[in-house]
Amino acid sequence: MPETVSNKIAAGEVVQRPASVVKELVENAIDAGAEHISIVVKGAGSELIQVVDDGCGMSAADAAASFQRHATSKIRSIEDLESIRTLGFRGEALASIAAIAKVRLQSRRSVDEVGTEIIVEGGEPISNAPKPMLPGTTISVRNLFYNVPARRKFLKRPSTELKHIVDVVQVNALANPGIAWTLRSGENELMCVTRGESHDPKEILQTRIKELLSLDSFEPLITVDESTSYLRVFGILGKPELYKRTRGRQFLFVNNRAIKHRYLEHAVYSAYEYLLPEGTFPLFALFLDIDPRHVDVNVHPAKAEVKFEDESGVYSMMRTIVRKALGTAELTPDFLSAVPLSGIKLDLDSSESHESGKGSKGLRLAETGLTGFAHEPHSNPWLEAGSASKRLYDSGPGGAMSSGTVESRGDETRETESSDLLWQLHDAYVLTQIRSGLVIVDQQAAHERILYEKATISLADGFGLSQQLLFPITIEYPPGDFVLLEELMPDLRSLGFDIEPFGGRSVVMRGVPADIRAGDERQILDAVLDQYKSFESVDKLTGRENLARSIARKSSVKAGARLSHKEMRALIDQLFLCEMPYVSPDGRPTIVKLSVDELRERFGRRG
């Protein structure tokens, strides 16, 4: 088969549309170390795509070779394939593009006096000559698909093709904030962003996002930078109020390569769950750094898809990290749509004064009071009574906060009292009134959330509340289990298990975490051990996360348990002291809100 034909076939894989050409050329410019990249398109890329960079350039020989298929300067050995860090690696982009368009390449290295200009049409070299120019590379692609009419017909409307081009440039501009970018379509400048100059990568990225998306300020952006031994997640989350009803502002990168990964996107969406109105999408730009050996980027010629060795591990780390970041950010109250907006969470004093709930069904909600949470009040902006109530009532249009400041403060007190109206439905749901309507709390999900956060804090601090057992329990374990248990012991102690080896393969348990029901101690320890066994701990973050989850799941009050008024009260108070009250540790909602407006509508009372 003549090379021009095979190049044309390969071109079908690499070049689906003008945006594919932009992508390949831009990636080459990035790989070449450019500091400035400017792109000009005409006719939405069908007439002209020109990319100018000030990167390393090519020698005359390399320039000629660059149109050969599988001519890449970026892979020298099979091992390189394992750890691809540059963007291009197949060495077929230029050859493919040249097979289906008229291409002019101009390139000069800074060490050379003069550059080279090569013209290739439909894969056939037309000319090759020296060219005086500044160092760098300029590639112009004209009349794309001129010799593949079938392809040409498949192109969408120019506006659609242009949108794809903008998306490609945008993604690359996000991933490379150290590069200045311009994009013009005909006479229109569509994008112009300067080089990030700050020393703080977070600030650089924030600035880039703000410029690219034309935001007014940094205020609605949350920065994330979390590392585990397995991966690092760096980037920006939009606060919930930046939501959109359409997708398009979700950016995921793996080792600085833009990817599409539904599963991973879902991890982020699920972290936002219940913070956003239904059917809306948050803004995010997240960069995962992961050892290239744990991820396969070579699954698709367009290289947009990747496969992780441990997909579910990456999923759960991602979700945990995003949740944590969202949980500690100060969110605007009108977007906490599921939250009772008055009374409850401001009512610190009254919840502290709740008496012990001891005795009834072994549930010790009230007893533990606020101790697990009170030491870190700043982590939840709602809890600083002064500022929280100020924010609640001063800010934001819409919903429960639309009424004027002065009157609202009056309401606040009244609501606090009325929120003592609590009902339990089917021994599973706790109902309470709020100013804007009704809140329904899933008691089990809510309690899991409370215990989970408490366990997480205990694990981090190293001491959880423990209650001594009247009769210490001695348990003998099979050798395998015993070894595991010894490994787990420090974390178990942190959680409040007073436990130690007791000769041979036995352990003695003298105390248990304060939240565990009497009689369940041993079961819970076994369950935790089982969970630990079945879980291949990738690192501490997920290992502990798992421990906290199983404790929460095992010791929470279940649906079917009748709660006293005090217990309901304590449940709700403590739920709203959580960092992330709206979802259970495994992502189910804890709260459903029914607004008076919704009720009105259901009863057909419009207006």
| Interacting residues with Mg ion (CB under 5 A) | 28, 88, 93
Instruction: Return the number of other C-beta atoms located less than 10 Å from residue 158's C-beta.
Output: 14
Q: How far is the CB of 454 from Mg ion (least distance, A)?
A: 52
At 584, the amino acid letter reads S
Which residues fall within 8 angstroms of residue 71, CB to CB, at 6 or more apart?
A: 65, 91, 94, 95
> Judged by CB under 6 A, which stretch of 91-99, 110-118, 208-216, 428-436 contacts ligand ADP?
91-99
Residue closest to Mg ion, measured at CB: 88
Which of 10, 19, 29, 512 touches ligand ADP (CB under 6 A)?
Answer: 29
Q: What is the DSSP letter of 229?
A: S
Task: Closer to Mg ion by CB, 88 or 136: give it.
Answer: 88
The 3-state DSSP class for residue 525 equals helix
Residue 52 contacts residue 105 (beta carbons within 8 Å): no
Parallel, antiparallel or unpaired: strands 284-290 and 506-513: unpaired
The one of Mg ion, ligand ADP, none whose footprint includes residue 265, by CB under 5 to 8 A per kind, is: none
The one of ligand ADP, Mg ion, none whose footprint includes residue 89, by CB under 5 to 8 A per kind, is: ligand ADP
Which of 20, 46, 50, 137 touches ligand ADP (CB under 6 A)?
Answer: 137
Q: How far is the CB of 145 from Mg ion (least distance, A)?
A: 19
Task: Closer to Mg ion by CB, 66 or 443: give it.
Answer: 66
Write the CA distances from 233 to 197, 325, 546, integer angstroms.
22, 11, 20
Structure tokens at 264: 């991973």
Q: Does 73 bind ligand ADP (CB under 6 A)?
A: yes
Q: How far is the CB of 31 from Mg ion (least distance, A)?
A: 7
Question: In angstroms, how far is CA 287 from the centroid of its own chain?
Answer: 9
Per 3-state DSSP, the chain is made up of helix, strand and coil in percentages (nearest 5) of 40, 25, 35
Parallel, antiparallel or unpaired: strands 36-42 and 124-131: unpaired
Cα(540)–Cα(65) distance, integer angstroms: 49
> Judged by CB under 6 A, which stretch of 1-9, 23-31, 35-43, 420-428 contacts ligand ADP?
23-31
Task: Closer to Mg ion by CB, 21 or 93: give it.
Answer: 93
> Judged by CB under 6 A, which stretch of 22-30, 316-324, 330-338, 588-596 contacts ligand ADP?
22-30
Rule CB under 6 A: which of 52-71 touch ligand ADP?
53, 55-58, 62, 66, 71
> Judged by CB under 6 A, which stretch of 48-56, 284-292, 301-309, 462-470 contacts ligand ADP?
48-56
The one of ligand ADP, Mg ion, none whose footprint includes residue 66, by CB under 5 to 8 A per kind, is: ligand ADP
Residue closest to ligand ADP, measured at CB: 88
Cα(505)–Cα(486) distance, integer angstroms: 10
Q: Does 135 bind ligand ADP (CB under 6 A)?
A: no
Q: Which residues pair with 8 in a beta bridge?
A: none
Q: Does 93 bind ligand ADP (CB under 6 A)?
A: yes
Cα(122)–Cα(516) distance, integer angstroms: 74
Cα(274)–Cα(278) distance, integer angstroms: 8
Q: Does 510 bind ligand ADP (CB under 6 A)?
A: no
**How many CA atoms within 13 Å lie on the side-chain side of 474?**
6
Q: Does 89 bind ligand ADP (CB under 6 A)?
A: yes
> Judged by CB under 6 A, which stretch of 27-35, 110-118, 484-492, 550-558 contacts ligand ADP?
27-35
Residue 49 contacts residue 80 (beta carbons within 8 Å): no
Q: Does 94 bind ligand ADP (CB under 6 A)?
A: yes
**How many Å from the N-terminal Cα to the C-terminal Cα in the chain?**
73
Task: Closer to Mg ion by CB, 37 or 485: give it.
Answer: 37
Give the interface with ligand ADP as residue ranges (CB under 6 A).
24, 28-29, 32, 53, 55-58, 62, 66, 71-74, 88-95, 137
